[in-house]
Amino acid sequence: MSRSGPPHAPRRRVLVAAAGLAGVAGLGGLAAFRTAAASHGLLLRTRAGLAFGTTVALTAAGSDAAAIEAALMDGFAAMRAVEAAASLFRPDSDLSRLNRDGVLDAPDPHLVVLLRFALALAAETAGAFDPTVQPLWPIWAGAATRGGRPDGGTLGDALGRIGWRRVRLEPDRIVLTPGTALTLNALIQGYAADRVIAALRERGIGDAFVDTGEFGASGTHPDGTPWRLGLADPRDPASLAAVIAPFTGFAATSGDYNMSFSDDRADHHIFDPATGYSPDALSSVTVTASSGLLADGLSTACMVLGRELGARLIAGHPGCTVRFTDKIRPDRRRL
């Protein structure tokens, strides 16, 4: 891995614009959805807001307006809880405090779930996914503002502080080796989609489409047909490259266009922990899975592993699917 990131600049925007996946609004529009819901005796409500440094939106259908509104409130509360645990956009989050202090007692349960999964995926991928790549972020961001790339010495120093074995997860404590910093940006939005869908179901909402920066869907479209999910073209995000239909479960996309340090997108926010540079074989990877956490982590791991090794990784997770988009290099675009 991984997606590294700042606590400031937004990493992605909703739907076709940059997320790599076009959701509800990209495939028909909310007005059409409300009309379809009404024709079947259902109500449809959508609530949008900001979370994880981006725009998020939750859509739910049902027959009880009060239950829908309560469910949407619970969905946003679920996202806020995940942010409080593990968002780098919040300086008061448990993760931000851990990075500052190097140790955290009584960590938030959400942080523990995320970190346990991250370390397991790091082991499974022999470190291709690694939550300790955060030290690379300020180096690349600073070099990009100067119009260049990090020098070898600076990059080498950062690489010396990267390695998932530098993290110790104890029963009620997390300890980092000095100089280590974590990012869970490659997991947090997919995990949030899991928590939101769970919150909606607890309120009895079976038909829902959620966009937390990654996507989840349950039940069906208000007109009774399956949900559909559009995949944006990584080189023309306003256009669809494909549509997943039917879409239920969860989907996540990792790509070189969400945040780039170079105009040709050779340098971007996903890093190979072995080299400190961005992987250069793929423009994007979309994974569908039974959980958003799994889809999010696998999509980032596949960006680093490449098509062949990434396909092997996906094959080891029954029920998952993957779509690879190869890197389009500037000197080949006219061929």
Binding residues for Mg(2+): 186, 296, 300
**How far, in Å, CA of 4 to CA of 138, rounded?**
9
Point out which residues pair with 282 in neighbouring strands: 326
CB atoms within 10 A of CB 61: 25
| Residues 6 or more apart in contact with residue 289 via CB below 8 angstroms | 249, 250, 251, 252, 295, 298, 317, 319, 320
Point out which residues pair with 322 in neighbouring strands: 287
What's the Cα-to-Cα distance from 63 to each of 66, 216, 302, rounded to whole Å? Answer: 9, 21, 41
Known binding-site positions: 186, 296, 300
- Crossing angle for the helix pair 136-145 and 152-159, nearest 10 degrees? 160
CB atoms within 10 A of CB 294: 24
The helix (H) or strand (E) run that includes residue 67 is helix 65-86
CA 92 to chain centre: 21
3-class SS at 241? Answer: strand
Yes or no: say if 205 and 71 are a contact pair by the CB < 8 Å rule.
yes
Yes or no: say if 182 and 131 are a contact pair by the CB < 8 Å rule.
yes
Residue pointed to by tokens 């900001």:
50
In 207-275, the DSSP E strands lie at 207-211, 215-218, 229-233, 236-244, 249-255
